[in-house]
């Protein structure tokens, strides 16, 4: 920055003093002193040519400052977004967020440009111009400063109006970006219903407001342009008129040339400044929105000093756990108490919406419990850092989603350092090895956005392998509700048997066939435990488990409405 600013000052000084050399040349021509004419001509030439070289150097050094700065800002905000709570991500709109990112990053560059290339330059050249003008006539120097600051005040006032318009336009722009992203993400649903035109009109509707806001925003510029050019133009004319009037006193024609040179050069700079201040104002609102992301507070906090379990056994304890989703009133989990011993296979079953996945989210600390506590190997999970907690848990989510990258990248996501042997081992256990090795591109096969090129069962088995590779003490398997074919089901079952022998296995089960041999089946109903026991025990009781089991063994689905089960 220091080097950059010094070089910039040098460039501006060389550039600004040109009219002075011109005056000196004219003066010496008048006196007929050729030697001095040549001397000032060379100085004039230097200020013409060298100032441009130095200018280029100043831009070069400036890029050396701003490019790494922009990168660091982007990386920091990206990390911050990812670190934010699960709850933040359930509320956000990816499209709007990306649009805020894009605008913010542009603003970083523009503001740097405006402040250091324009604003800074204008201020220096104002100082130089005033100094030279002052020597010619103090009156004119004061007049120049007066014109400058009056116009600055006017700009400030107009910009405030412009800013409000920009903020409103941005909000509308984010809505548009949100609809576009939503359409792109849901392209499949759009196609199911042949709703391409419908999506377009949904976008078109949002554009109505967008256009209205954009007109207001653009017109505020026109008002500014007219107001500032009239006021600054009159000021400059006044100074030049004063200079013309002065010629003849102790003020020569060459002084007039110099002053007109200074003033007209400055006038353009000033105009540039005006446009730049306008830009800065616009960019400030973009930047504000961008940096605002950093002010989001994480609700699920890491403890300052963490407590770690003495031994990693894989014991889980739920103690009177209660939970309400943020902004909701209804208790989704209610007084759940349960102990899962190390190495046990525990299954959670229940109707759709009973709170099974929510329980998994609580275990992972995607949310903090509202009541009670959850302990792993005797330590309250709130006392562990999220990273330490999650490193102990392997998760196969209900709807596994993959990165738009290769199979290998996705499989090794939790452990980049895994050897090929370990990778193959995990894939083998998850019953996906054969499939991968048969692919033309093998491990390097691209899986598409969110893993779209894989089947549901393949994605699930890949997710199992991905979780297994990190060798967690506790494996959580949130089974997909979608029906897998019996072969895939058998494959997953086999994978689970293999995995379960060495670690604690928490299963959320929709297909009861997978949990017949579970050590403990926990039946959830409206967020509470209604029954608990082994399959043989539960089937003898006339409870919810038996109802669900009977329904399923008759080949019916566990209906989401719940009412079907009576």
**Six-digit token string for 367:** 């949310």
Q: Least distance in Å: CB of 527 to ligand ATP? A: 7
Instruction: Give the separation between CA 30 and CA 283, rounded to whole angstroms.
Output: 51
Complex with ligand ATP: residue 228 or 507, whichever CB lies closer: 507
Q: Least distance in Å: CB of 494 to ligand ATP? A: 23
* Residue of the chain from 16, 358, 412, 504 that contacts ligand ATP (CB under 6 A): 358
**Which range binds ligand ATP by CB under 6 A, 126-134, 188-196, 354-362, 438-446?**
354-362
* Residue of the chain from 481, 525, 526, 528 that contacts ligand ATP (CB under 6 A): 481
With contact defined as beta carbons under 8 Å apart, do 443 and 408 qualify?
yes
**Which range binds ligand ATP by CB under 6 A, 69-77, 163-171, 189-197, 352-360?**
352-360
**Angle at Cα 273 formed by Cα 157 and Cα 140, nearest 5°?**
90
Q: Is 474 helix (H, G, I), strand (E, B) or coil?
A: strand
Instruction: Give the separation between CA 167 and CA 440, rounded to whole angstroms.
Output: 51
Q: Least distance in Å: CB of 490 to Mg ion? A: 22
With contact defined as beta carbons under 8 Å apart, do 422 and 466 qualify?
no
**Which range binds ligand ATP by CB under 6 A, 302-310, 325-333, 499-507, 533-541?**
325-333
Q: Least distance in Å: CB of 358 to Mg ion? A: 8
With contact defined as beta carbons under 8 Å apart, do 154 and 161 qualify?
no
* Residue of the chain from 249, 328, 440, 542 that contacts ligand ATP (CB under 6 A): 328
Q: Least distance in Å: CB of 474 to ligand ATP? A: 18
Q: Does 332 bind ligand ATP (CB under 6 A)?
A: yes
**Number of residues in contact with ligand ATP, rule: CB under 6 A?**
14
Q: Least distance in Å: CB of 90 to ligand ATP? A: 5
Complex with Mg ion: residue 95 or 397, whichever CB lies closer: 397
Extended strands (E) in 100-251: none
Q: Does 396 bind ligand ATP (CB under 6 A)?
A: no
Residues 27-56 that bind ligand ATP (CB under 6 A): none
Q: Does 357 bind ligand ATP (CB under 6 A)?
A: yes
Instruction: Give the separation between CA 226 and CA 249, rounded to whole angstroms.
Output: 36
Instruction: Give the separation between CA 262 and CA 239, rounded to whole angstroms.
Output: 11
Q: Which does 51 bind (CB under 5 to 8 A by kind): Mg ion, ligand ATP, none?
A: none
Sheet holding 331-340, edge to edge: 331-340, 316-324, 371-376, 379-380
Tell the residue number behind the tokens 């002065």, with chain if given: 246
Q: Does 90 bind ligand ATP (CB under 6 A)?
A: yes
Q: Is 446 helix (H, G, I), strand (E, B) or coil?
A: strand
Taking the CB of residue 486, how many other CB atoms lie within 10 A of it? 11
- Binding residues for Mg ion (CB under 5 A): 357, 398
Tell the residue number behind the tokens 């990112």, with chain if given: 101
Provide the binding-site residues for ligand ATP, judged by CB under 6 A.
Answer: 90, 325, 328, 332, 350, 352-358, 398, 481
């Amino acid at each position: 920055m220091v080097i950059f600013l010094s070089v910039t000052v040098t460039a501006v000084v060389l550039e600004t003093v040109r009219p002075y050399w011109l005056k000196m040349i004219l003066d010496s021509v008048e006196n007929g002193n050729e030697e001095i004419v040549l001397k000032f001509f060379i100085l004039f030439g230097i200020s013409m040519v060298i100032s441009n070289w130095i200018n280029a150097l100043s831009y070069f050094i400036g890029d050396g400052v701003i490019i790494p700065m922009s990168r660091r800002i982007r990386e920091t905000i990206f990390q911050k977004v990812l670190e934010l709570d699960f709850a933040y991500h359930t509320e956000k709109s990816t499209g709007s967020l990306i649009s805020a990112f894009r605008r913010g990053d542009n603003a970083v560059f523009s503001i740097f440009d405006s402040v250091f290339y324009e604003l800074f330059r204008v201020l220096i050249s104002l100082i130089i111009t005033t100094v030279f003008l002052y020597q010619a006539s103090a009156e004119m120097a004061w007049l120049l400063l007066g014109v400058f600051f009056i116009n600055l005040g006017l700009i400030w006032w107009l910009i405030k109006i412009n800013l409000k318009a920009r903020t409103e336009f941005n909000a509308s722009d984010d809505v548009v970006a949100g609809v576009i992203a939503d359409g792109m993400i849901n392209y499949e649903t759009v196609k199911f219903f042949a709703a391409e035109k419908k999506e377009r009109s949904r976008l078109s509707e949002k554009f109505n407001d967008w256009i209205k806001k954009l007109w207001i925003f653009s017109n505020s510029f026109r008002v500014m342009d007219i107001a500032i050019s009239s006021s600054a133009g009159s000021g400059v004319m006044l100074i030049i008129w004063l200079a013309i009037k002065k010629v003849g006193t102790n003020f020569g024609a060459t002084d007039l040339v110099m002053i007109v040179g200074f003033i007209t050069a400055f006038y353009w700079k000033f105009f540039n400044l005006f446009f730049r201040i306008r830009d800065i104002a616009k960019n400030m609102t973009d930047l504000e929105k961008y940096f605002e992301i950093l002010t989001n507070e994480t609700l699920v906090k890491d403890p300052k000093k963490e407590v770690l379990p003495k031994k990693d056994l894989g014991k889980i304890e739920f103690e009177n756990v209660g939970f309400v989703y943020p902004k909701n009133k209804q208790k989704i989990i209610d007084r759940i108490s349960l102990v899962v011993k190390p190495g046990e296979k525990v299954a959670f079953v229940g109707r759709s919406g009973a709170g099974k996945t929510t329980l998994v989210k609580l275990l992972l600390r995607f949310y903090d419990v509202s009541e009670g506590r959850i302990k792993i190997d005797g330590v309250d999970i709130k006392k562990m850092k999220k990273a330490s907690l999650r490193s102990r848990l392997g998760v196969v989510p209900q709807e596994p989603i993959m990165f738009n990258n290769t199979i290998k990248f996705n499989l090794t996501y939790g452990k980049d350092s895994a050897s090929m042997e370990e990778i193959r081992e995990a894939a083998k256990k998850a019953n996906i090895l054969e499939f991968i090795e048969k692919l033309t591109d093998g491990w390097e096969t691209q899986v598409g956005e969110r893993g779209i090129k894989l089947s549901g069962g393949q994605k699930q088995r890949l997710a199992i392998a991905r979780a297994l590779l990190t060798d967690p003490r506790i494996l959580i398997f949130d089974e997909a509700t979608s029906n897998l074919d019996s072969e895939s089901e058998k494959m997953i079952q086999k994978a689970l048997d293999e995995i379960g022998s060495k670690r604690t296995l928490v299963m959320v089960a929709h297909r009861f066939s997978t949990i017949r041999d579970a050590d403990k089946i926990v039946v959830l109903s409206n967020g509470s435990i209604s029954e608990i026991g082994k399959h043989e025990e539960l089937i003898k009781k006339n409870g919810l488990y038996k109802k669900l089991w009977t329904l399923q063994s008759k080949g019916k689905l566990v209906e989401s409405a719940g009412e079907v089960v009576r």
